[in-house]
Amino acid sequence: MKAKKSNFSEWYTEITKEAELCDLRYNVKGFVVFRPWSVQSMKKMYDIYESELEAHGHQPAWFPALIPESNFLKEGEHVKGFVPEVFWVERAGSDALEEKLAMRPTSETAMYQMYSLWIQGASDLPLKIYQSCQVWRCETKATRPFIRSREFYWIEAHDCFATKEGAMAQVHEDMGMAETVIHMQFGVPFIFFRRPQWDKFPGADDTYAADCLMPDGKVLQLPSTHMLGQNFAKVFDVKYLDGTGTSQYVWQTCYGPAISRIYAAIISQHGDDKGLIMPFALAPTQVVIVPIVKGGNEKEIEQKCNELKKTLSNSGLRIHCDFTPNTPGFKFNQWEMKGVPVRIEIGARELESSEYVVARRGAKEKSKVKEKDLANAIAKMAGELQSDIISIADKWFSGMTHSASTLSDLEKKIKEGGFVRVPFCSTEMDGEKCAEAIKEKMSGNVRGTRFDKHEKPKDEKCVVCGQKAEEFVYVARQY
């Protein structure tokens, strides 16, 4: 494998190929085939995130992938933001359609016309629905498997409330779910920012987005949650009768964890120069059993491997026995590269002693474990692996925020990678020119203000225009 720290880009390209995560040779530009090893992990990610959403009152639904152009054109800011990226269906067989159909880039315009039919009174609120699906966007930036492509896999939750306070509480809940799932279960740290007004979701009042960092110091956006206000409710006529019989527009939010992009963050954050390191719960195979065959004991060793597989599988573990003709050393390297958390080695000595050599991915030392203790030992290793990947990721992430008070200092710090905190005039629309200057001069993007901290400059000036700084913003280069 390439060295991840010194050349992350090449490491990423190599690992996606060698670990058989995807295949770029599909003959439509910007579209990628996801292979079984990555899909098995992403299915588990879906299960975890969907369970979290349902535990917070969301219900699943499936909406059509095709959206009539007339739906799509109803909300002016939304259409302005998305039409340049839309794939359009204009024919059915040899016949031209009466109305163009958009392949969904996101589902507000598909779902909210139905919400207007489903919501009548206050008793219908809150309405909290999610769907797991694909969306399509004609990305003009360079595509990269899992990070950015023209078809990606995500979950989108769309919620309606009687009050603004209820909607804002949902925004906070969305952030909490991201912390619970992405950080504590997937091991990827991030910061939630309130995006500048010029960079919010089209049609939203406010956007809040979680930014993680890739090993090269560039930002990758993970889930965003949007305070939609009543903008879509008014154009799609989503109303309810309040206690006085008065018709009121609902308040809405939407939330979009992109599973395929989060997967990119997981493999990038935790992998090393040997390959992938996967959280135990997400690994397609959690334990690989490798026979060490010397002499004529192949049949006995194979039998013992299969016995152990059956016993450990009954404990709920995902087990694979590698009976391929490759050498043990080749097998060790291959399964380490694919990120299998635990390896058990079985040879003649192990048959005789019923004590097996066990190796955990990422640990420096192997262990010897008696057969009766294997299940407990593996459970302990799973916990240690989870603790280690979170600790390592958090320690690295905490050292990736810098500060600058001048434009020249910002230019220097941004080359080091990570976030750079700077005094800034305003994240309202009148600050956009300063943000554009930063982007043009040093390819840095103003990510916004931290949502978890109230930071107010004292007697400081904007790093760009020199006017009084009203906020601290964070700048970074992005994917």
Average pLDDT over residues 350-369: 92
Cα distance between residue 232 and residue 76, in whole Å = 10
Is 359's pLDDT higher than 80? yes
- The CA angle 455-449-46, to the nearest 5 degrees, is 130
What topology is assigned to 285-381 in CATH?
Rossmann fold (3.40.50)
CB 279 within 8 Å of CB 162? no
8-18 vs 259-270: helix axis angle to the nearest 10? 110
CATH number at 401-476: 3.30.110.30
Q: Model confidence over 244-269: pLDDT tens digits?
A: 999 999 999 999 999 999 999 999 99
**pLDDT for 141 beyond 80:** no
Per-residue pLDDT at 32: 93
Minimum mean pLDDT range among 173-182, 296-305, 322-331, 431-440: 296-305
Has this prediction a pTM greater than 0.75?
A: yes
Is pLDDT of 142 > 90?
no
Mean pLDDT in residue range 399-418: 95
User: How many whole angstroms separate alpha carbon 28 and alpha carbon 49?
Assistant: 30
Burial class (CB in 10 A: 0-12, 13-18, 19+), 247: exposed
- The predicted-structure confidence for 279-317, as pLDDT tens digits, reads as follows 999 999 999 999 998 877 889 999 999 999 999 999 999
Task: Output the pLDDT for position 1.
Answer: 77
Q: Has residue 219 got a pLDDT over 90? A: yes
Kindly report, residue by residue over 420-439, the tens digit of the pLDDT. 999 999 999 999 999 999 99
Q: Where in the chain is the domain with CATH 3.40.50.800?
A: 285-381
Beta-ladder partners of 244: none
Give 219: exposed, middle or buried? Use CB within 10 Å, 0-12, 13-18, 19+: buried
For the chain, the average pLDDT equals 95
Count of other CB atoms within 10 angstroms of residue 352? 8
Tell me the CA distances in angstroms from 295 to 256, 348, 349, 352, 400, one per residue in order.
56, 9, 13, 15, 53
| Cβ-based neighbours of 8, under 8 Å, separated by 6 or more | 214, 215, 216, 268
342 touches 381 (CB < 8 A) = yes
pLDDT confidence of 80, banded at 50, 70, 90?
confident
Using a 10 angstrom Cβ sphere, with 0-12 exposed, 13-18 middle and 19 or more buried, the burial of residue 139 is middle
**What is the Cα–Cα distance from 343 to 357, expressed in whole angstroms?**
8
Residue range(s) of every CATH 3.30.110.30 domain in the chain: 401-476
pLDDT (0 to 100) of residue 51: 98
Identify the three-state secondary structure at position 267: helix
Q: How many CB atoms lie within 10 A of CB 244?
A: 6
pLDDT at 231 exceeding the cut of 90 = yes
The CA-based diameter of the chain, rounded to the nearest angstrom, is 87
Residue 322 has pLDDT above 80, yes or no: yes
Indicate where the chain has its CATH 3.30.930.10 domain(s): 8-270
Distance, CA of 149 to CA of 23 (rounded, Å): 13
Are the C-beta atoms of 257 and 222 separated by less than 8 Å? Answer: yes
- pLDDT (0 to 100) of residue 126: 98
Q: Is the pLDDT of residue 143 over 90?
A: no
Q: What is the pLDDT of residue 297?
A: 84
Distance of CA 453 to the CA centre of its chain: 23
- 462 Cβ contact partners less than 8 Å away, ≥ 6 residues apart: 423, 424, 425, 431, 434, 468, 469
- For residue 145, whether the previous peptide bond is cis, meaning omega lies within 30 degrees of 0, is no
State the CATH class of domain 8-270.
Answer: alpha beta
